[in-house]
Amino acid sequence: MSAAGARDIAAMALRNLSRHKAKTAITAVAVAVSVSLYIFMDGWLLGMNLDSRRNIVSYEIGAAKVQAAAYFEKKDELPMHESFAGWKPLAESLERAGYAVAPRFVFSGTLYSRSGSAPLVIDAVDVGLEGRVLRYPSSLEAGRFPAPGRLELAIGSMAAEKLRVGIPSRPTPEELEELAGAARDAEEEAFVRGLYGPAPEDEAAAALEARKLALKPGASEAELARLWEILSASGRMDVRISTVIDQKAEDGSGRILHVNQLIDASVVGVINSPNPKTNGNVAFMPLDSLQDEAGLMLGGKVTELLVRRSGASDAELPGRDESAAAVREALGPALPPGLEVHGWLDYVDDYIAASRGDQVSTRIMILMLFVLSFIGIANTMLMAILERTKETGMLRALGMTDGQVVAAYMIEAACIGAMGSLAGIAIGCLINVPMVAHGLDYSAMAEQIGGDYGYRITALFRSAWNPPVIVLSGIVATALSAAAALLPSLRALRMPVTESLRFE
Amino acid sequence: MEGRMEGTGGLGALATIAYRNIWRNGRRTALCVVAVAIAVFFNIFMQSWIDGMMDSIEEVVRTFETGHVNVVSSGFEAEREYCPVQYPIAEGRSADELADEIEALPGVRAALPRITAYATLFDSTVKHALLWGVRPARELAINHWNLTDRDDGLVAGRFPGEGANECAIGAALARKTGLGIGDKLPLKTVSAQFSDKYWSPTIVGVFEFDYARYDEGVILVSFERLGRILGLGGATQQLFVYAEEAGRSAELRDEVARLLGPGHVVREWADNYWVAVMRQSSFLYVIVFAVFQVVASFLIVNTVLMVIHERIKEIGMMGALGMTRREIVLVFFFEALILSVIGALAGCLLGGLVTKVGSLFPIDTEVFTGGGMKDLPFSGTIFIAFSPANIARGFAFGVAVSAACTILPSLKSAFVEPVEALRR
């Protein structure tokens, strides 16, 4: 077929489109709805997952963990007796290979504050090394990160609020009285009261119900530090950790020995990072403060080493050089038997399940919608071709080849698809703009569930731009539309030309 | 002519014409029917799935979280997070007296006192658990604790006797701690007077409620015993009121609130955060369903437009023979309506079949929680809800949306001039 011939056929197809404008428009709208919804849902899922993954790696796990095989098996139960000693040589050989390493001893216990108690997971961390792998130590809402060697805690913001430690940002009038009562003299009391005012206007409705006050937004760091000091002096930050130390018996019988332990500590900081897992019922303590009888009798043992390539960018997910296999290889013979390396994805079953569930259900939904749209195009083309049986016969009688006839119909269908796709892409992008910029606020749900809903996003679920999918969805919709014309046009060609001409 | 039409059945005759017209192009009809059927099927299936999830949440909430009407003191409500025991309901009055008074209200089946308190476990790899002080015999007369099997959930032994130094623990807790029937469970809790209470009840039973939060972290003990240990003096921390009819919960809530007076927080189960969230999001699903149904209706709209175009001569003839414009419009509208009814019927049939079969197979919620989301009031197993009401609603919704979409295109036939059309 010559270029001129192809142009003529395309022109004919375009002219045919305008024969029933309403029909063409409705069919195209159906395609546009599918394409725009697909673009929106894909961007939404991508945004949630990208943010979640980044937050898991940067705030929760790093790229990989070194743990005892026996610990990994029961990791949900936090089996602290499956800890291991001698982590320093491992860390050194990993650091030589260009990795940043942070040791941890994870245990659970009950935290008693002056006003209540709550079960908590406590991560004992090496204060100096932690910040090289994870970013949460600098995500402090108030106070500071614990200092090495001291029995100090930084606790998640949701736990702090429940246990009434730290600086409340939205106290009730009764709570403010409690805060003011912490002051040692009249000047301090005036200072404390001066930091709080009525809740801002836009939250008036929520505030009205609970009559809440709010911390003044202009409070300087020095003022907050002073408030913290006043509250701390009143004993508000003093807590007690009640836990049981589990150790394997030295005799090799596998028996677990229990020592009931109470640890007095004080809260020095409140963590509020973009990953809700660090803000729930979690506390962080210096590892070196728990080594002896006053702590957990650790004697240098840790439950895990967190590994990340040193200097890795927060925006990037771990590459191949940070995979469990790469870390294992870097350790080589230094990795003692009984220890294993696992990649970060092995630790986030809850996120993976939530994400996969959403991915599958959403994609099935959109797929159904696509099917509906293409039944629409198929119907439109079926009718158009049937209607023009006589014309088709005439075109063939005048010498148009079967290929040219099929091409004409397919181009016509593709044009409907393309119009719908273009409109769909435009609408999808328009929906995406506010979704990427602002997102949807899920903070109420995050609070209800203690940040435990799979996704690692604290409040705003934002969409992300996914240009390949945006372009591809348009191309696929157009191609599928063209394909919808294939069967009916082939069927029309099966009719002998003479029959077609007589067709009524 | 007009009179004869009326005589031969009026609308019935028009519908007959419309029905015959459908079969003039089988393929087109088939595509329209399939599209409507897919949309109706999808909507019925989605609704059944959502209902299954909501049923599970509502049942868990009613059984474990709130009852039909939940009573606590304002002091407890303010610190609900850590289950304080120092704020009993109607301080100074015994739980039984209070329960009797509430049970005397019309429409109340039972008012059950419960106490929950955190406990720190000793000599155990599991560090903490929740003490759940209940009266098993009375509770089980009202509730199933295992919502999947609809039974008491006991897998071994028995529940603790009234006032006895005994407890029953969840199967997952038993597995993690390695404890079983006959073992002691040493623990510490904090009393209403803020003193540490050490207790070591004997395990007499192991239960599995198929509700992860309870199976993993609850120690079920006698209400009397726990109340004594915590120094509640016969009072209770919470009251779970069960109504004869769940639908009357809101009225009952107001009556109970009046009875108890100020200083208490009285809620009905529908006020629970998760129940409210699920209910609020149902309007979102209606939007999704509508999008599906409208896209499917586009096919019928197109069909009507094409049919009017194809049969323009016939319209002229019908008009020339005396059919009014209204009747002509109705013929085309009925044609669209019949298409959507057939499609919706097919969708209902398929939807009914799939949800019926689906409702027989349990779905493990672990698939979409991955062991996380412990605070979600979900039972470990949910079933797709098979409900004739859903199917009927899916049918009505499908037909209504399609009909609404086709009114406008059908009207197009009214603008055909019979004399002109005959010449075309």
pLDDT of residue A423: 96
Q: Is B56 an interface residue toward A (CB < 8 Å)?
A: no
Higher pLDDT, residue B282 or A419: A419
pLDDT of residue A306: 94
Could you say which residues from 92 to 121 on chain B have a Cβ atom under 8 Å away from some Cβ of chain A?
118, 120-121
pLDDT of residue A99: 93
Does the pLDDT value for residue B239 go beyond 70? yes
B129 bridge partner residues: B119
CA distance A35 to chain B (A): 12
**Rounded-to-integer distance, Cα B251 and Cα B59, Å:** 20
> Do the beta carbons of residue A182 and residue A233 sit within 8 Å?
yes
pLDDT of residue A207: 46
Is A109's CB within 8 Å of B128's CB?
A: yes
- What are the backbone dihedrals phi and psi of residue B417, each rounded to the nearest 5 degrees, phi first? -85, 115
> Do the beta carbons of residue B393 and residue B46 sit within 8 Å?
no
Is B298's CB within 8 Å of A29's CB?
A: yes
Each residue of A204-243: pLDDT tens digit? 455 445 566 778 777 788 888 889 999 999 889 999 998 9
Chain A positions in Cβ-Cβ contact with residue B306 (cut-off 8 Å): 20, 23, 383, 387
Chain B positions in Cβ-Cβ contact with residue A356 (cut-off 8 Å): 368
Of the candidates B14, B120, B78, B37, the one whose C-alpha atom is nearest the C-alpha of residue B346 is B37
Q: Residue A429 class from Cβ within 10 Å (0-12 exposed, 13-18 middle, 19+ buried)?
A: middle
Of the candidates A67, A85, A79, A74, the one whose C-alpha atom is nearest the C-alpha of residue A108 is A79
How many residues can be counted in chain B? 424
**Roughly what angle, to the nearest 10 degrees, separates helices A349-387 and A21-55?**
170
CA distance A472 to chain B (A): 22
Model ipTM value: 0.80
Q: Strands, DSSP E only, in B269-382?
A: 363-364, 381-382
Is A449's CB within 8 Å of B376's CB?
A: yes
CA distance A242 to chain B (A): 7
Average pLDDT of the residues in A322-339: 90
| pLDDT tier, B3 (very low <50, low <70, confident <90, very high otherwise) | very low
Chain A positions in Cβ-Cβ contact with residue B371 (cut-off 8 Å): 76, 349-350, 353
- For chain B, percent of residues with pLDDT exceeding 90: 41
Each residue of A81-139: pLDDT tens digit? 999 998 999 999 999 999 999 999 999 998 988 878 888 999 999 999 999 999 999 88
Is B82's CB within 8 Å of A244's CB?
A: no
Could you say which residues from 252 to 281 on chain B have a Cβ atom under 8 Å away from some Cβ of chain A?
273-274, 277
Each residue of A159-196: pLDDT tens digit? 898 888 988 887 888 888 888 888 888 888 888 888 88
CA distance B112 to chain A (A): 26
For A158, nearest residue in chain B (alpha carbons): B81
Chain A positions in Cβ-Cβ contact with residue B79 (cut-off 8 Å): 115-116
Q: Determine the distance from the C-alpha atom of residue B88 to the mean position of all C-alpha atoms in its chain, rounded to a whole number.
A: 32
pLDDT of residue B8: 47
Q: Is B196 an interface residue toward A (CB < 8 Å)?
A: no
Does the pLDDT value for residue B38 go beyond 90? yes
Higher pLDDT, residue A472 or A76: A472
- Which of A122, A379, A449, A504 best probes binding to B when mutated, by most B CB atoms within 10 angstroms? A379
Chain A positions in Cβ-Cβ contact with residue B374 (cut-off 8 Å): 452
SS3 B200: coil
Partner residue opposite B368 with nearest CB, options A116, A353, A376 = A353
How many residues can be counted in chain A? 504
**Rounded-to-integer distance, Cα B299 and Cα A27, Å:** 8
Which amino acid is present at B48?
Answer: S
Whole-number Cα distances in Å, B118 to A112, A165, B79, B136, B272: 11, 19, 13, 20, 22
pLDDT of residue B4: 47
Neighbour tally for A315: CB within 10 Å: 8
Q: Is B309 an interface residue toward A (CB < 8 Å)?
A: yes
Q: Is B367 an interface residue toward A (CB < 8 Å)?
A: yes
Strand (E) or helix (H) holding A42: helix A21-55
